[in-house]
Amino acid sequence: MVSAPTEERMETDTSLALGIVPGPLATRVLLTDGPTTWLKARLPHGPRHPRAVTTLAEALALWSGRPLRVVIAADGRGAFCATTPWLDTFEVLTRPALVAVLCARHDVVPADPLPGEGLGDFHDVRALLRRTVER
């Protein structure tokens, strides 16, 4: 199982940060850009969908057009996230990504297949995959 990044391992190359602190009745959310507060909210205690935290973070990153670091208070006396909604969320957050996208150089100009050749030859695509994915 892949573990979520801990405070010590997180990169600090950006000051845009989202803090999420589950409480006994509500969850406090704070989005900051250095000393500037962009968003403060109190939400119901637990997310109603396992991807809610990820989707919220992605939406805020897209809105701002900047990378976003998320910190969830998940350990210690002030952490109130040992409930089913939060445990389901942590399972989603720590699951490895199903899709990885790589960008690679491709110098072969594809030619359209001649009539009757079906989809044509994909040898250049196979070579691209061998060069990139099978490394």
Sequential pLDDT tens for the chain (135 residues) = 334 444 443 444 456 899 999 888 889 999 999 888 999 999 998 899 999 999 999 999 999 999 988 998 877 766 677 778 788 888 887 776 655 656 677 777 777 778 888 877 777 777 877 777 665
Q: Which domains does the chain have, with CATH numbers?
A: 16-94 (3.30.420), 101-135 (no CATH)
Reduce the secondary structure of the chain to three states and give it as a string. Answer: CCCCCCCCCCCCCCCEEEEEEECCCEEEEEEEECCEEEEEEEEECCCCCCCHHHHHHHHHHHHHCCCCEEEECCCCCCCCCCCHHHHHHHHHHHCCCCCCCCCCCCCCCCCCCCCCCCCCCCHHHHHHHHHHCCC
